[in-house]
Structure 1
Amino acid sequence: MGVLSGMTGFARVDGQADGWNWTWEARSVNGKGLEARFRLPTGFERLETKARDLAKARFSRGNVNATLNLRRETEAGGARIDLARVRGLLDQAAPLLESGEVARPTLDGLLALPGMIDSDQADGPDNSAELDNALLASLGDALDGLQAARRDEGRALADILAAHIADIARLTGEAADHAATRSDAIRDRLATKFAELLPEGLPEDRLATEAAMLAVKMDVREELDRLHAHIDAARELLAQGSPVGRKLDFLSQEFNREANTLCSKSSDSSLTAIGLSLKNTVDQFREQIQNVE
């Protein structure tokens, strides 16, 4: 028994290694194909190819987006004043200060100059292979979580789709059992109609010919047979599990085609009502299929 998967979900994973802390956030929404996008800090774009491979290994459809928030562990304050540079600058400016040509600088003014403070850059690149491996392993965990969320959605979708297929099967059965689809019923209705229009009625051989021609025109047995075959195929696909979204979408179009033909061939209002209910159920079925991987 396969597992049906949806295309909507979210997952978050935290990790740390080599003096770095990070968070992966992965989310996905519906899509006709698979499109994976990654937002990576400056210097870590090198991870994108392998990250895309990880997504392709788990998903076949959907717009998947993953974001890496990365920060380096630092000591308290995370910054260090370059005292040697500050002293050097003051020594060079001493003659100007003594002559009064410039005002004595303030500490905050000095620290605002470039290079006066050393700090670890949270988004700075790091060429550690160990870090890359840890980040990719963590991404794999996040994508696994996303996959689990999509399968949770898929289990709910499976129940909804199975109910729609059951309704389609019920309505198809009602159409097959309807009196308007039987040739003898068509003949009786035709005889009644001609009797209303022509008091003397029609000769029996002429009535038989007209009834036969009308029965051929109104015959929906082929449509009903194809509907039964499509119902069996739909149930098999649900049991197979994802990825079956595209196949189910194609099948829904076939369901709709047969329902349209059933309505167009019907000359009985109650049979037409069954056909319209069938079309409505097929539309609901197809709408839900758009969420299936």
Structure 2
Amino acid sequence: MVMSMTGFGRAVKQTSGCIIQVEIKTVNHRYREYHLKIPQQLSNTEMALRNRLGKYFNRGRVEVSVKMTGQLPARKELHIDWDLLDSYDHFIQEIKKKYSVPGDAVISDYLRIQDAVEVVESGDRAEELSTVLISAADEAAEQVLRMRHAEGIALSNEIHSYIDELEERVLKVKEQAPAVLKKYTDRLKNKLSELMQDHIDESRLLAEAAIFADKADISEEAARLHSHIAQFREALHASGPTGRKMDFIIQEMNREVNTIGSKGNDSFIANLAVDMKVLLEKLREQVQNIE
């Protein structure tokens, strides 16, 4: 299935006191290239973000803009010095034994011990921020894929029409090739007849015709063009990235068309070659956008 390299996605995720927005834009590029804009407080998530994006995009320029507003409230944690409490409890028990003090210590007594129980703030929320960022990136990337898929369908339809037209021109070339050879042979025969006063040297005529046939035979080029067209159609329906392969096939088809134009020695063939080059250029322009 053809996938375009052009797409856009945007997602916003919120965590306590903080909003993270991720925008992803992709455009065509020969390889996969990342351009990330990430706030300083999220810079440690860049590698994780790149790895995540690699699961969605195989080719193209991927531009990612991350914005964060607000601040995460500090996380409060309860720290208890159990060793200190154990020592305090041991001290109380010793006092009760030594001085025969009645009564038991209650929990509130332990909580009032200085430095034994305290509430501290933890400013490290990197893991939570990374989770929110990756979640937003996933959602934005999915939107991009949907857009790339929809555009890929439109590209595929247009490419199909161009390749069908190209194949029609190739068939016309093959149909015209024998007539071009006969036309040249007749012209050669008439010329020799004038020069030799109707005493035609058949062996010379055949030799000249054979030389021309060898130089002007475009059947091999037409056959290779048909083969390239078949390969192109296969690539068009293949799964995964196929844009670079199709671009290479277009280059090979263009080479065959140039040869046909130079060997054909016929205005009709020449016009067909021009038409085919125009179609190949249109194909190339569309293929540049395929992943």
- What CA distance in whole angstroms lies between the structure 2 residues aligned with 1:69 and 1:126? 19
Counterparts of 1:14 and 1:236 in 2: how far apart (Å)? 40
Unaligned runs of 5+ in 2: 74-122
Task: From the superposition, tell whether residues 201 and 171 of structure 1 become closer, same or farther in structure 2 (CA, over 3 Å).
Answer: farther
Which structure would you say has the larger Rg?
Answer: 2
Report the Cα distance in structure 2 between the residues aligned to 1:141 and 1:268, rounded to whole angstroms.
58
Inter-CA distance 126–147: structure 2 relative to 1 (3 Å threshold): farther
Aligned counterpart, 1:51: 49
Give the TM-score, by structure 2 length.
0.78
State the Cα distance separating 1:241 from its structure 2 match. Answer: 3.9
Aligned residue type for 1:68: V
User: What's the offset of the Cα at 1:131?
Assistant: 2.7
Paired residues of 1:12 and 1:23 also in contact (CA < 8 A): yes
Matching residue's letter, 1:238: L
Rounded Cα–Cα distance in structure 2 between residues aligned with 1:246 and 1:219? 31
2:177 pairs with 1:157:
no
Confirm or deny: 8 A CA contact 1:230 1:255 kept in the other structure.
Answer: yes
1:197 Cα offset (Å): 4.8
1:10 paired residue number: 8
- Residue 32 in 1 paired to residue 30 in 2? yes
- Name the SS for the 2:130 alignment partner: helix
- Looking at structure 1, the residues matched to 199 and 142 of structure 2 have their Cα atoms a distance apart, in angstroms, of 75
Compared with structure 1, are the counterparts of its residues 255 and 218 closer, same or farther at alpha carbon in structure 2 (3 Å cutoff)? same
How many residues align? The count is 242
Q: Sequence identity, in percent?
A: 33
Match of 1:284 in 2: 282
CA distance in 2, matches of 1:196, 1:172: 36
What's 2:241 paired with?
243
RMSD over equivalenced CA pairs, Å: 2.0
CA contact (8 A) 2:4 2:152 kept: yes
Q: Secondary structure at the match of 2:278?
A: helix
| 1:21–1:212 distance in 2 versus 1, CA, 3 Å | same
Matches within 5 A, 1:1-293: 3-72=1-70, 127-180=125-178, 183-293=181-291
Instruction: State the secondary structure of the residue aligned to 2:228.
Output: helix
Structure 2: which amino acid aligns with 1:59?
F
CA contact (8 A) 2:72 2:125 kept: no
- Partners of 1:280 and 1:56 lie apart in 2 by 36
